Amino acid sequence: MANAQLQKSVVLLKPDALQRGLVGNIISRFEKKGLKLMALKMMYLNQEMLEKWYEHHKEKPFFADLTSFMTSGPIVAMLWEGLECIAAVRKLCGVTTGYEAEAGSIRGDFSMSQQHNVIHASDSPETAKKEQELIFDKDEVFDYDKGEYLWVYSLEERN
Ligand code: CMP
């Protein structure tokens, strides 16, 4: 793809993913896809962060429930990189609501809920930048050469 962009996507494994023991399986899917892991940490989100994170949902009737769910346990935050990574990651996740998500996608395989939908992924380069800044300090992000890229991408795609 001539105009494909190298992008980063912020992914959160939500409290239900940790409680249900899905972390390893989900990370494995991203690795096998050929994406590059640039940051990974376990943490609690707080109300202040979530008000910024979900700014566009602040007026929605489900916002209080959403923040209560997202602070109910630890989450795993990750930063992944790849060509057109944002769309590729969202495809791996499947559509928002678990019972509607396509079988084979993460939500399609592991969720039956609109809110307890296991995973969050950035929806645009602008959101990814904002989310990266909210979650990761600069020294928590690792840039390195990934040898596998020689096999994941063609010569043209690597240049
Ligand atoms: P996420 O991708 O993290 O973006 C916003 C989240 O809000 C979404 O996943 C769901 O977990 C949640 N959400 C979206 N719509 C609803 C809804 N109608 N009721 C409850 N939760 C919702």
CATH of the domain at 88: 3.30.70.141
Which residues span the domain enclosing 81? 6-158
Residue 95 near ligand 1, beta carbon < 6 Å = no
- Structural domains in the chain (count): 1
12 alpha carbon – ligand 1 mean position (Å):
13
Tell me whether residue 1 is in a domain: no
Is position 120 annotated as part of the catalytic site?
Answer: yes
pTM of the model: 0.96
pLDDT in tens, the chain (159 residues): 568 999 999 999 999 999 999 999 999 999 999 999 999 999 999 999 999 999 999 999 999 999 999 999 999 999 999 999 999 999 999 999 999 999 999 999 999 999 999 999 999 999 999 999 999 999 999 999 999 999 999 999 998
Residues in the chain, total: 159
> Which residues are paired to 121 by β-bridges?
11
* Top mutation candidate among 45, 66, 113 for ligand 1, by most atoms within 8 Å of CB: 66
Residue 127 near ligand 1, beta carbon < 6 Å = no
Give 116: exposed, middle or buried? Use CB within 10 Å, 0-12, 13-18, 19+.
middle
